[in-house]
């Protein structure tokens, strides 16, 4: 079993829909990261969480440390949100990554 599990693997939505991507992990962590990988391959950091909730524009990330679970929400989804979203957990210098969720938002 992978240490970081994401669901769903693939997600197709219509523009404007509310999106939720889930991440569960089985190891101790110092922080959890959400990353976005563009169709061209570039990876950018979206959030770093150690507790609670963070919001940036239409993106919201939450983490429940006790349940070892995090969610990434996208409100009012747009075709430009189409990308692979990656959950990663960090313990000091060791990073473990989920396999990613491929999101496609159709106009």
Partner 1 sequence: NAGVTQTPKFRVLKTGQSMTLLCAQDMNHEYMYWYRQDPGMGLRLIHYSVGEGTTAKGEVPDGYNVSRLKKQNFLLGLESAAPSQTSVYFCASRIHYEQYFGPGTRLTVT
Is-contact 101 8, C-beta < 8 A?
Answer: yes
Instruction: Please state the closest distance from residue 41 (CB atom) to partner 1, in A.
Output: 5
Whether the link from the prior residue into 32 is cis, omega within 30° of 0, is no
Is-contact 86 35, C-beta < 8 A?
Answer: yes
User: Is the CB of 19 or the CB of 86 nearer to partner 1?
Assistant: 86
Judged by CB under 8 A, the chain residues 65 through 104 that form the site for partner 1 are 86, 88, 90, 93-100
Is-contact 18 103, C-beta < 8 A?
Answer: no
Q: Which stretch binds partner 1 (CB under 8 A): 12-20, 42-50, 53-61, 72-80?
A: 42-50
Interface contacts to partner 1, rule CB under 8 A: 2, 4, 31, 33, 35, 41-45, 48, 86, 88, 90, 93-100
């Amino acid at each position: 079993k992978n240490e970081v599990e994401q669901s769903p693997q693939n997600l197709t939505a219509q523009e404007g829909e509310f999106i939720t991507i889930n991440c569960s992990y089985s190891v101790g962590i110092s922080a959890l990261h959400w990353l976005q990988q563009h169709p061209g391959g570039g990876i950018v950091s979206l959030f770093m969480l150690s507790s609670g909730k963070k919001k940036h524009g239409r993106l919201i990330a939450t983490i429940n440390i006790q349940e070892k679970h995090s969610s990434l929400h996208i409100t009012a989804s747009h075709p430009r949100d189409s990308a692979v979203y990656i959950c990663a957990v960090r313990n000091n210098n060791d990073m473990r990554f989920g396999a990613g969720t491929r999101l496609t938002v159709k106009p």
